[in-house]
Chains A and B, each alone.
Chain A
């Protein structure tokens, strides 16, 4: 019984939250990696692009809510996602046309493109803050919990409750669908294969008649889908605040590099590596040991490896270690 209690405790406080957070990071990391692999620059506007997509989704959510349109127990924001993706894609294509295209055609070094993306970051941040403001917003509606802690306790008769938020389930389900579709697209369809070829060797791809304009456009569209969905899922699970989204760029970068930048599957796993290590290292294991160990050996302290203040620092330290020992990431990067 004690063992089961300990297991549920870990499930409740570590496994489920880390899985949800990891999925959100994974989507962002695939976004970073895709841009890096095909357009060949580190996109510092990542977080702000995600916040732009989320902002549009929130505006549509409000519009639908004002019309009385809801999805019942599901959040209305899911209905808003397709519309938000359209706007996001449009925004990205406009940015590409007016900003990135020039440098791409001139074959500028990646560093210059990264600097340009900082300019885009500033502009996007301004646009988001001017339209929706910098404050914290929650736009979740519908059923909040799939399983409540109390219900679980009654159901199983355990001391520990297991609470599963519906947003966590939505995040994981949507991530599975999105990522498997993406991998199917990249590996099985002709366009996906040509994207991978372009990422692998641009000149050869051009020689074999692949249209770079089409590749770039499709990349931005996929990026729009990833940015919007990733942003909305994070916003549903926690809340929407432009500054937090900007900060999220850092663990997302960490995930992308840990997985090997340019490698979408690596980025996908990298998201979970970062999320699990953040939560595993900062969780206080006192209660867990109280269940597992006999009473005489109960610990005094919190048994916390690092205080929760260092949550971000954990992921960055992992990144630094990975960069030192395997600069190409855990799963070799650079090929889409």
Chain B
């Protein structure tokens, strides 16, 4: 108990802050911050597995998040029958062609000795394959995108409950991570960082511009929800009764019957959105807790000890007979899969998929700030980092506004400096993140909750 005191203290302060937001701003804001904190926590856990356990730099978090989001679309949206009949066969044929190319390349790689001729053959297979695929897929893609472009214009998904996408998102992200890992994990640390950053940009470019699959920048809106809709809740008997019970004290103060009804309606509307957010919080909390238990177990298992050994001294671990390359690949896939889950969760909560909103600053670098600030190598630290940094990211603008008002209190309201500063309040969050990261890196390089390994 005693040695965990700082963990408990840090988490209580964090929850206290969120509750304060609930009291002073509104419970709606507090809960939406809390939900995104949970999602950020899942992302940081993924990044932390890679960086904290194994020392791998993955600056491609944005790409894996987006793939998770794509999974949510592909699982939950109803299939567009017309589009499938218009161009489905071409797309399926292209898919088989891609598999064929991969098999052919593998065959050549296995069958022939390493030589220049082999390289030429592989290049020829890939180039001719790409040309054939383009010829096959182009009419299909055009036909699909012409099917009711204002509303669909894409193939749609499977029409399953969106919760399944959390698992599928993990598989998508893990699959991409496997490919990237095979290719890039041999690189030096900073090269790996740059390579993953650029690969994630390629992923985003594909998601943005392959309209037949993702609807691209036209966005997919109105995804199914795992939680009830506010509108339905507001008409449900038991919910109204519940709200009435909760607010009976306040309602009793109002004597006029019609006014009381109006007040109740107001409470029901507010309550419904809070209730929906609570449903999400519950779902997300389950994911976070399951992942936390798994990652903690892994950290203290022989496997976790091996990972730390590899991280701290790769050559020694190699000499002890550990397969460093294989373990790196495994951990890269696992961490990215967790990020994929977070990506699917994010789209589930928003109910919409907007490929244009995936930007490296928000989805890669901010997550890294969370990991570093929270404490790399420590799961509790990583989760705390997700909470603290997201909280500050959201609350930076109000805090900035307060500070601006405080420092420019002597100036008139129309003074150009004051007006300019108040206009630029949203950018204080960048300043806060940057200074926070620099201070933590300098004075507490292991994060708020540093890694500590106890032998159990």
Partners in one complex: yes
A contact residues vs B (CB 8 Å cutoff): 41-42, 44, 99, 102, 109-112, 114-116, 118-127, 129-130, 133-134, 246, 250, 253-254, 257, 307, 309-310, 312-313, 316-317, 319-320, 323-324, 327
Interchain CA distance A114-B193 in the complex, whole Å: 9
Q: Are B190 and A42 in contact (CB under 8 A)?
A: yes
Given contacts A250-B201, A316-B198, A316-B201, contact A130 B438 (CB under 8 A): no
A133 and B197 contacting across the interface, CB-CB below 8 Å: no
The 7 closest A-B pairs by CB, nearest first: A122-B434, A123-B434, A126-B430, A126-B431, A119-B437, A316-B198, A309-B209
Given A312-B201, A316-B198, residue A129 in contact with residue B191 (CB < 8 A): no
Contact between B197 and A323, CB atoms less than 8 A apart? no
Q: Is the interface of A mostly helix, strand, loop or mixed?
A: helix
Q: Are B361 and A246 closer than 8 Å at their CB atoms?
A: yes
Q: Contact between A118 and B424 (Cβ–Cβ < 8 Å)?
A: no
Contact A133 B424 (CB under 8 A): yes
Set A119, A307, A310: member contacting B434, Cβ < 8 A:
A119
Asked if B57 CB lies within 8 Å of chain A CBs, one says yes
Interface contact A121-B199, CB-CB below 8 Å: no
Answer yes or no: B114 CB below 8 A from chain A CBs: no
**8 A-B residue pairs with CB within 8 Å:** A110-B190, A111-B190, A122-B430, A134-B427, A313-B202, A320-B184, A323-B184, A327-B187
Interface string of B420-443 (1 = CB under 8 A from A): 010110011111011101100110
Instruction: Verify if B419 is at the interface (C-beta below 8 Å from A).
Output: no
For B368, give the chain A residue with the smallest CB separation.
A118
> Are A309 and B434 in contact, CB atoms less than 8 angstroms apart?
no
Interface: B372 (CB within 8 A): yes
The distance from the CB of A245 to the nearest CB of chain B, in whole angstroms, is 12
**Per-residue CB proximity of B337-381 to A under 8 Å, as 1/0?**
000000000000000000000000100010011001000000000
Known: A110-B189, A319-B195. A130 touches B205 (CB 8 A): no
A309/B190 contact (C-beta < 8 A), A130-B427, A133-B424 known: no
A-B contacts besides A118-B369, A124-B434, A246-B361, 20 pairs, CB < 8 Å? A99-B442, A114-B193, A115-B368, A119-B437, A120-B434, A121-B434, A122-B433, A123-B430, A125-B430, A126-B428, A129-B427, A133-B423, A133-B424, A257-B191, A307-B209, A312-B202, A313-B202, A313-B205, A319-B198, A324-B184
Question: CB-CB < 8 A to A310: which residues of B?
Answer: 205, 209
Closest residue on chain B to residue A113 by CB atoms: B190
Q: Which of B189, B208, B372, B441 has the most CB of A within 10 A?
A: B441
CB contacts (< 8 Å) of B183 on chain A: these are 320, 324
A116 and B438 in contact, given A126-B428, A133-B424, A134-B427 (Cβ under 8 angstroms): yes
Q: Are A121 and B365 neighbours in the complex by a CB distance under 8 Å?
A: yes
Closest to B210 in A: A309
The answer to whether A118 and B365 have CB atoms under 8 Å apart is yes
B392 to chain A, nearest CB (A): 12
Partner of A127 from B187, B190, B197, B431 at Cβ < 8 Å: B431
In the complex, A295→B199 CA distance in Å? 42
For chain B, residues 177 to 200, give those with C-beta under 8 angstroms from any C-beta of chain A: 183-184, 187-191, 193-195, 197-199
Which residues of A lie under 8 Å from residue B191 when comparing CB positions? Answer: 257, 323, 327
Task: Write the nearest CB–CB distance from A277 to chain B, whole angstroms.
Answer: 14
- Bound Cα distance from A99 to B440, whole angstroms: 12
A260 to chain B, nearest CB (A): 12
Q: Does B242 contact A (CB under 8 A)?
A: no
Shortest distance between the CB of B443 and any CB in chain A (Å): 10
Whether the Cβ atoms of B198 and A126 lie closer than 8 Å is no
Q: Would you call B193 and A122 a contact (CB within 8 A)? A: no
Chain B residues closer than 8 Å to A257, beta-carbon distance: 191, 194
With A110-B189, A116-B441 as known contacts, state yes or no: A130 contacts B199, CB within 8 Å.
no
Taken together as a complex, chains A and B put the C-alpha atoms of A39 and B445 apart, in Å, by 20
Asked whether, in the complex, the Cβ of A122 is within 8 Å of the Cβ of B189, the reply is: no
Closest Cβ of chain A: how far from B380's Cβ, in Å? 21
Q: Is the CB of B431 within 8 A of A123?
A: yes
B190: chain A residues at CB < 8 Å are 41-42, 110-111, 114
**Is B206 an interface residue when CB atoms closer than 8 A count as contact?**
yes
Complex contact A129–B187 (CB within 8 A):
no
Q: How far does the alpha carbon of A122 sit from the alpha carbon of B389 in the complex, in Å? A: 13
Binary per-residue interface labels of chain B (240-270) against chain A in the complex, 1 for a CB within 8 Å, 0 otherwise: 0000000000000000000000000000000
Contact B441–A119 (Cβ < 8 Å):
yes
Contacts of B376-427 to chain A: CB distance below 8 A: 421, 423-424, 427
Q: How far is the CB of A148 from chain B (nearest CB, A)?
A: 34
CA distance A116 to B435 in the complex (A): 10
Q: Tell which of B198, B421, B427, B438 touches A254, judged by Cβ atoms closer than 8 Å.
A: B198
A42 & B193 in contact (Cβ 8 Å cutoff):
yes
Contacts of A129 in B (CB 8 A): 424, 427, 430
Q: Return the chain A residue nearest B435 by Cβ.
A: A123
- Give the residues in chain A near B201, CB-CB below 8 Å: 250, 312-313, 316
Q: Which residues of chain B are near A120, meaning CB under 8 Å?
A: 434, 438
Residue of B nearest to A114 (CB): B190
Closest B residue, CB atoms, query A323? B195
Which chain B residues border A116 with CB–CB below 8 Å?
Answer: 437-438, 441
Whether A111 touches B57, Cβ cut-off 8 Å, given contacts A119-B437, A130-B424, is yes
Cα–Cα distance between A309 and B214 once the two chains are bound (Å): 15
- A100 to nearest B CB, angstroms? 10
- How long is the Cα–Cα vector from A312 to B198 in the complex, in angstroms? 9
Contact with B365, one of A122, A253, A324 (Cβ below 8 angstroms): A122
Interchain nearest-CB distance for A249 vs B (Å): 9
Question: What string of 1s and 0s marks CB contacts (under 8 Å) between B307-331 and chain A?
Answer: 0000000000000000000000000
CA distance A102 to B438 in the complex (A): 11
Q: Complex formed: what's the CA distance from A126 to B432 in Å?
A: 9
CA distance A122 to B114 in the complex (A): 46
The CA of A109 and the CA of B445, in the complex, are separated in Å by 13
A119-B438, A129-B424, A130-B424 given; A320·B195 CB < 8 A? yes
Q: Give the CA-CA distance A224 to B183 in the complex, in Å.
A: 35
Given the known interface contacts A41-B190, A123-B431, A126-B431, the answer about A118 and B437 at a Cβ–Cβ threshold of 8 Å is yes
